[in-house]
Amino acid sequence: MLDHPGAASARIYDYSLGGKDNYGADRHAAMAALAAHRAARLLPRENRKFMRRAVRYLLDAGVRQFIDVGCGLPGKGNVHELAHRADPDSRTVYVDNDPVAVVHYQALLHAVPTAAAVRGDARRAADVLADPDVTALIDLDRPVGVLMIAMLDQIPEADDPDGVVRTFRDAMAPGSHLAICDLASDRLTPADFDKHEKIVELLGFPVEFRPASRLGGFFDGLDLVDPGLVPAPEWRPDRPYDPPSGWLMAGVGRKP
């Protein structure tokens, strides 16, 4: 998640999931977005549920260390909690450039030696990977799960999202996985785009939609795990789900 004056994406997301770590500006932006389009109500839950399923899949694949890039605020079923259920020695680093999100995670993790939260900007990916708190927990010579959940849509083309993903992708050891869930434009109607523009105006910061083919390019050099890049609720569902919003695509790629 990226940090912005006034309302912040991490806190809007928190409010949308029923959290309490948000302010008036965040609640105003979230309620306005929810009123503007039904999809705005579905997106946080689609994101969160995909994240949990992806982490469980990676754990089943033997991954025991995770970097959650653009983690936002803590919620129910955080990455380190899911990982510790499978292996108490699993390691997790949360990264966000919103200081409020980082402080909340640090408070949550103060007695958890196998997890940390660092303030970092994904657009400076090399600096994130070199952060001492990251290198203290994450061994990039071993498989790692890199999670980019609802994060790339906040990196405009001018800030080189391909370079961001490539830096993480190149640093990953064979057997590592990259999980992405992001806004896609393919199924949006002209009316949807109009509503999207209104939501962006209400939120006060840009949100980038990309076609699925563009999102697929972030997995270059990786083997897409079945079922590939699909609407988020359709990625390995483990229970009945509401019809997809059509706004989110999700996938997981493995580095051979």
CA angle 256, 70, 249 (to 5 degrees): 60
Mind listing the pLDDT tens digit for each residue in 203-247?
Answer: 666 788 999 999 999 999 999 999 999 999 999 999 888 888 888
Write down the mean pLDDT value for the chain: 87
**pLDDT reported for residue 3:** 39
Q: Is the pLDDT of residue 40 over 80?
A: no
Local structure of residue 236 (DSSP, 8 states):
S
Are the C-beta atoms of residues 129 and 118 closer than 8 Å to each other?
no
Phi/psi at 182 (nearest 5 deg)?
A: -155, 165
Least confident of 4-18, 165-179, 215-229: 4-18
Q: For the domain 43-189+210-254, what is the CATH code?
A: 3.40.50.150
Bridge pairing between strands 248-254 and 177-183 = antiparallel
Interhelix angle 99-108/9-16, nearest 10 degrees: 60
Three-state secondary structure call for residue 61: coil
Contact between residue 29 and residue 7 where contact means Cβ atoms under 8 Å apart = yes
Q: How does residue 88 score in pLDDT terms, banded at 50, 70 and 90?
A: very high
Q: pLDDT > 70: what percent of the chain?
A: 80
User: How many CB atoms neighbour CB 174 within 10 A?
Assistant: 10
pLDDT by residue (tens digit) across 107-158?
A: 999 999 999 999 999 999 999 999 999 999 999 999 999 999 999 998 999 9
